[in-house]
Amino acid sequence: MNLIEIEEDPLVSSAIRDITERKTVEERFRGLLESAPDAMLIVNRAGTIVLVNSQAEALFGYARDELLGQKVEVLAPERFRSRHPAYRSGYFSAPRPRPMSAELALCGLRKDGTEFPVEISLNPIETEDGLLVSSSIRDITDRKRFDHALSENNVALAKVAEARNTFLATMSHELRTPMNAIIGFTGVLLMKLSGPLTPDQEKQLNTMQSSARRLLSLMNDFLDLIKLESGKGGLNFEPLSCASVIADMATTLRPVAENKGLTFQVTLPEDDIVIYSDRRTFSQIVNNLVTNAIKFTVQGGIGVVLARREENGRMFAAISIDDSGCGIKPEDQAKLFAAFPALDSLSGGRKEGTGLRLHLSQKLAEVLGGRITLKSEYGKGSTFSLLLPEK
């Protein structure tokens, strides 16, 4: 409204604007604010609270009129108030939707003086009155309590796991001594150094020795797995000839395959493949895979192939073990590398072994930076491939 001086009577000029739409927008905005699940505050550049919702009243214990026009710092503990204006100024200089840093360990302050942990998200709002900031505030007391309880539970579980590993390691060591004695004693008897044996006695001693060796192998696998999980399995990485590791394996396991009437073929490239790895672990994985192939192959043969393979621009040494065994059903393949799968398709319905060796081999391959893959057709055979990065 403006006063206009003219020769006659003074006049008044009035500019009238229809703000119906603006009021409608404001009402809608207030409605959205009230329907929000979290406490909401609208703050201007000076840090003054210009709008609050009922959730904010309930959370902080203030009536709406007590908050409007107040500095937002009134809702923060005293120790944080001196730093808040600088944070606010920095946000207004580069406004964008973002959560406030979790490292700040943010706390809210209720009217009664009690503090509580909060999570805050900020969003800029452009208005006719300038830039405002919408603050969404959530009480995370229950989450903090849960996280603390979970942390304590994890510590307790870690202690239980450590106690379990210690027990299993101790028992495995303690049992290995008498087990070696049993294997050695049955070996002496089978050599007939103490006198002749009847066919039935020799059969029973062979069964005893085979069972003792299987149990000893299982205990060794347990020890290796415990060392792996506890991070105590020391590795010595060095340049390794893949061909030499495979040759050592063939020297040991070829007679085992041939004694079952299986063929055993090794195929090596003209140029050896050198990788940077731990020899003992590499050898253990290869031996485990070939031993499993021999174990579950009744007729036909085993083929071991060393070759280079490129995947995603990286070169790998691929050691593939083919067998003509029973193969693995598609539904069993996904759980094959679990610790105790007990899959019928591996043993023709007979529960044989624990499946721990494949689980351990996959874990060891991961430690070496590689992995084990499987291709199998039920009733026709399987191919396990160990892939390790080249040097």
pLDDT of residue 347: 46
**pLDDT reported for residue 164:** 67
- The values of phi and psi at residue 321, to 5°, are -115, 110
Give the tokens for residue 387.
């892939």
For residues 114 and 118, give the distance between their C-alpha atoms in angstroms, rounded to a whole number: 13
d(CA 386, CA 362): 9
Mean pLDDT by 10 residues, the chain (391 residues): 58 59 58 79 89 90 91 89 85 82 74 90 83 88 85 80 70 73 82 83 84 75 68 76 93 91 94 91 91 91 94 90 89 76 49 65 89 90 92 66
Tokens of 290: 């070939």
Domains identified in the chain and CATH numbers: 11-139 (3.30.450.20), 140-233 (1.10.287.130), 236-391 (3.30.565.10)
29: Cβ contacts below 8 Å, ≥ 6 apart: none
Strand pairing report for 39-43 and 130-139: antiparallel
Q: How far apart are CA 137 and CA 37, in angstroms?
A: 10
Q: Is the Cβ–Cβ distance between 240 and 306 less than 8 Å?
A: no
What's the predicted TM-score (pTM) here?
0.51
| Whole-number pLDDT of residue 172 | 65
301-304 long-range contacts, Cβ below 8 Å, gap at least 24? 301/257, 301/262, 301/263, 301/264, 301/265, 302/257, 302/262, 302/263, 302/264, 302/265, 303/265, 303/266, 303/267, 304/246, 304/249, 304/250, 304/264, 304/265, 304/266, 304/267
Residue 290 is predicted with a pLDDT of 93
Q: How many residues appear in the chain?
A: 391
CA 28, 34, 36, 40 torsion-angle sign: positive
136 three-class SS: strand
The DSSP line for 61-114 is T--HHHHTTSBGGGGS-HHHHTTHHHHHHHHHHS---EEPPGGG--EEE-TTS-
* pLDDT at residue 15, as a whole number: 63
Tokens representing 74 are 């009134």
Residue type, 18: D
Q: CA angle, corner 178, sides to 172 and 180, nearest 5? A: 90
